[in-house]
Amino acid sequence: MFKKSWVNLLLLFLPLVGGIVAFVLITIFLLSLPPFMLTADFGFVGFVFGLTIRNLGAIALMLGLFVTGVLLILYNRSLRRQERMQMLLEKAELEAEQGRRRFLRRLDHEIKNPLTGLRAALVNMEEAQASTDRQRAVENASHAVERLTRLLTDLRKLSDLGERPIELWQVDVPDLLQDVVDAAHVLPAYKGREVSLLIPKVPSPFPTITGDRDLLVLAVYNLVENALKFTCDTDSVEIRLGEDGRAILIEVADSGVGIPAEDVSKIFEELYRGSNARSTDGSGLGLALVYRIIASHNGHIYVRSSQEEPRGTVFTVRLPVSQKKVTLLPSS
Amino acid sequence: MIPNRSTLLLADDDPTIADSLAPFLERAGFHVLVVSDGVSALEKAQAHHPELIILDVLMPRMDGRETLRRLRKAKIWTPTILLTQVGEASERALALEEGADDYLNKPFDPHELLARIRAVLRRARPGERSLSAAWLLTANDLALDRRARRATLSGKTVELTPKALAVLEYLMTHPDEAVTRERLLEAVWGWEYPAGTRTVDTRMAELRRALDDDPADPHFIETIPGEGYRFIAPVHGEG
């Protein structure tokens, strides 16, 4: 509305200028005429009428003053709002820039480690004499390549999530969780471990949610994989399902080492690695992916963790139950 | 040049990739021509008539997509593998116009490229337009209109989720080829992850139910135990 300052000024003072012009014109032209003094009655009417006309000029002036004042107040408010918006924008830009730099710093770190391993492995391949040493170098190189590939794949998933629309179908959550547990069986960390899946019998059938089943499987799978990664054979991992009428709750709980308090607020950041996660395998994007997927389903994810007894971590995912009927995605 | 060796044209501007892939493919029994930009690829393709072209997408002078479009415009139907990913619907439409025979996303295992080259060469019909460039695919009474994203069985519309439709499309453009679950994940979902193979099975069950295809006695999709799936009905392309 207020783009150019000279236009703004003109618009602001236009009513006042109009009021002054009207006042001057009325004073000069109308009050200089004595047309209503023919008879006493007419004279009186003319006198009142003349006064009214004179007052009209004054009213025009007052109105002009009033409207100009109102416009000035509105203009001032608009300026302040613009300033506030500008400040917020600058703050958001600064935060985005800081986030971008932080991301690049972390990415640099995530890439340089496997790359250093790869370079060392290549040197070993070139220089090693014994076939066992060469074989080991090949294995190390493959491992480094796997890490880099996984990082790239997860980065692509993150970028895809921001770009592609999610498919919306009615999803049977108990069935989805069973799929996750079955899929987790192949993880090396699963060997000899017990993952409990606790699904309530009531209400039956369990409320469905509307969402992209494939993405939700990926989200819960990442949480289970994470739980397995930070626990040992004697620990327990539980996947619990619940509902409160409006939302369904999926909890992935473990009795592992727990997350240090200073890391808890940052674990959903892209490429963030907590102090006890630096030596573990992974792209550093798993929980960021989970967060994005849940957010894209209008859901929420919370974490509570303790390193003191009773130690452990609980991730709680809250997803709204289906409001309207949509086709049920056929299950296997 | 050794006779009876298929000639491949590899266009990639990254010398570390071209220098590593060319000897690998030579060892696999192909004669490999290497170029580093789209314009050279176009010239070499017209001069040497390779049996298959592998095109990177981001290249100097002319990118891979444009090179492929120009080849197809000149009615050169040499089977082509484009080194990129096809994800969303808009990209699928674009891919359809380009008429690439297959896609492979970087980074890839060279063995995967080799498998893809062999599969494309096996189903290639020299001089003919490939199924991947056809708008309408038919197999017995099943028809897939790729532009309208609609499948019909005996003239009746088959209700399918977009993913199941994309799976059907991939299988129909790769008939008589053993397609692994991992490959389907990569081609349709765009990424691979451990829980994904079950995801493929879920969509396959949906597809079979919709097509009324009995897994024990399939007319369209056959399960290859421990490997994946194969589209067994003969496919024809139009448009």
The ipTM value here is 0.73
Contact B161 A167 (CB under 8 A): yes
A164 close contact with B: CB closer than 8 A: yes
Q: Tell me if B198 and A329 make a contact (CB, 8 A cut-off).
A: no
A323 confidence band (pLDDT: 50, 70, 90)? low
Question: Contact B195/A183, CB-based, under 8 Å?
Answer: yes
| Among B73, B27, B14, B25, residue whose Cα is nearest residue B50 | B25
B212 touches chain A (CB under 8 A): no
**B-contacting residues in A 92-111 (Cβ below 8 Å):** none
Distances (CA, A) of B127 to B75, B76, B116: 9, 7, 19
Model confidence pLDDT, tens digit, residues A299-319: 999 999 888 888 899 999 999
- What is the per-residue pLDDT across A75-84, written as a single tens digit (0 to 9) for each? 899 899 999 9
- Report d(CA A200, CA A204) in Å as an integer: 9
Interface test with B, best of A170, A185, A214 (most B CBs within 10 A): A214
Q: Which residues of A touch B167 (CB under 8 A)?
A: none
In this complex, is the C-beta atom of A146 within 8 Å of any C-beta atom belonging to chain B? no
What is the per-residue pLDDT across B174-225, written as a single tens digit (0 to 9) for each? 888 888 888 888 888 777 666 677 788 888 988 999 988 888 888 999 999 8
Closest chain A C-alpha to B8 CA, distance in angstroms: 27
The C-alpha torsion from A193 through A155 and B183 to B158, rounded to 10°, is 100
Residues 66-85 (B) with a CB less than 8 A from some CB of A: 85
Percent of chain B with pLDDT strictly greater than 90: 29
Task: Output the pLDDT for position A60.
Answer: 83
Q: pLDDT tens digits, residue range B83-112? A: 876 655 555 556 666 778 888 888 888 998
Tokens, residue B182: 């991992």
> Strands, E, within A213-322: which ranges?
237-243, 247-254, 300-306, 312-320
Q: Indicate the residue of A167, A182, A217 with minimum beta-carbon distance to B162.
A: A167
Distance from the Cα of B177 to chain A's closest Cα (Å) equals 23
> Bridge partners of B10?
B34, B54
Mean pLDDT of chain A, nearest integer: 82
- A199, A177 contact by CB (below 8 A): yes
Decide: pTM greater than 0.90: no
Please give the Cα distance from B176 to B165 (Å, whole number): 18
Average pLDDT score, chain B? 85
3-state secondary structure B49-90: CCCEEEEECCCCCCCHHHHHHHHHHCCCCCCEEEECCCCCHH
pLDDT of residue A17: 83
Least confident stretch, A109-113, A248-252, B141-145 = A109-113
Question: Do B163 and A167 lie within an 8 Å CB cutoff?
Answer: yes
pLDDT at A172 over 70: yes
Position B14 pLDDT exceeds 50: yes
- Judged by a CB distance cut-off of 8 A, whether residue A152 touches chain B is yes
The C-alpha of B188 sits at a distance from chain A's nearest C-alpha, in angstroms, of 12
| The amino acid at B150 | R
Q: What is the CA radius of gyration of chain B?
A: 18
Of the two residues B17 and A55, the one the predictor is more confident about is B17
**CA of A328 vs chain B CAs: smallest distance (Å):** 11
Alpha carbons A217 and A303: distance in angstroms, whole number: 19
User: What value does the mean pLDDT take over residues A272-301?
Assistant: 82
